Amino acid sequence: MGASRVVHVVHETEYRYDAPVSQSWQLAHLAPRACARQHVLEHRLAVTPRPDWIDAHTDAFGNAVAAFAIHAAHERLDVVAESRIEIAPPLHDTEAALRPFDPAAARRTSGREALELASFFGPSPLVPRSRRAVHYAARSFRPGVPFIVALDELAHRIHRDFEFDAEATTVTTPLEEVFAERRGVCQDFAQLMIACLRGVGVPARYVSGYILTRPPPGKPRLVGADASHAWVSAWCPGQGWIDVDPTNDRRVDQDFVTLGWGRDFSDVTPLRGVILGGGAQALEARVTVTPE
């Protein structure tokens, strides 16, 4: 196994309001998650105006969450999350991943493992049951096909059949519309693949994070050129969670930074909240991921 990689992430979020906001309550999923291959070396969250109240805790899925409130009038909100993360190389697939797919295997788990999987079997707010997703997934998850072969093939087919289009969808676009239009963004493709996997009996979770993009040869890395990203984690009996990115048709490796995971996007929205006042608002988000 190769050496670990350290990356530096800066995620800047700016809200501009047409009129003063008198009260603001926000919930941030902006702290990278400590997990099997990822060690958080540093993390800082800076909020302007300064919050009157802030609370750091973990949610039901074990993700780090920061809740804060601002009670002074303001026409601008700036949130900057800065982190350094050490990421280990991915592990090789085990013999378990080469076994034929068994849709009943996940249901036979017990104890702590069963509790961990319980949230990722069925429908969730943004990933309803879909007969179309079941039929689409069944073309890859065929009897006798090794689990990992079926998983990689499903990701490849989504990458081939659906076009990336940043203007085609919003965070509220229904899954069936994504299926019909065959276009969307990483959030859509992740949730589509999750619907496919859950439909054939594979527990699957939505992973929020970042991916390190590479500038053309000889060109500098541009500040803010990277973006929030999303991919899928599928549970393989005997091996555990396997992360795959259908948007880029690849396995998750040291180019990926994990923020957190949940049933779908609604569980790990980077920043969401409620405000009083403000009128119309403009949002700008910039992400810079730099290898050290």
Residue 124 shares a structural domain with residue 206: yes
Task: Average the pLDDT over 202-218 and give the result.
Answer: 87
Q: In this predicted model, what pLDDT tens digit does every residue of 20-61 receive, in sequence order?
A: 999 999 999 999 999 989 999 999 999 999 999 999 999 999
Task: Average the pLDDT over 215-220 and give the result.
Answer: 68
Task: List C-alpha distances in Å: 105 to 3, 109, 120, 168, 237.
Answer: 34, 7, 14, 37, 6
Residue 186 shares a structural domain with residue 45: no
Average pLDDT, the chain: 92
Bridge partner list, 225: 287
- CATH, residue 70: 2.60.40.2250
Total structural domains in the chain?
2
Query: Which amino acid appears at position 276 of this protein?
Result: L
Torsion of CA 201, 36, 154, 95, to 10 degrees: -80
Q: In this predicted model, what pLDDT tens digit does every residue of 247-289 receive, in sequence order?
A: 999 999 999 999 999 999 999 999 999 999 989 999 999 999 9
Short-list 196, 194, 200, CA closest to 261 = 194
Task: Average the pLDDT over 193-197 and give the result.
Answer: 98
Q: Say whether pLDDT at 173 is over 70.
A: yes
Bridge partner list, 78: 14, 48
Residue 256 shares a structural domain with residue 120: yes
Residue 133 shares a structural domain with residue 224: yes
Torsion of CA 221, 243, 30, 248, to 10 degrees: 40
Residue 134 shares a structural domain with residue 251: yes
Identify the band that residue 108 occupies on the pLDDT scale cut at 50, 70 and 90.
confident
> Strand 38-48 to strand 281-291: parallel, antiparallel, or no bridges (unpaired)?
unpaired
> Percentage of residues in the chain with pLDDT exceeding 90?
82
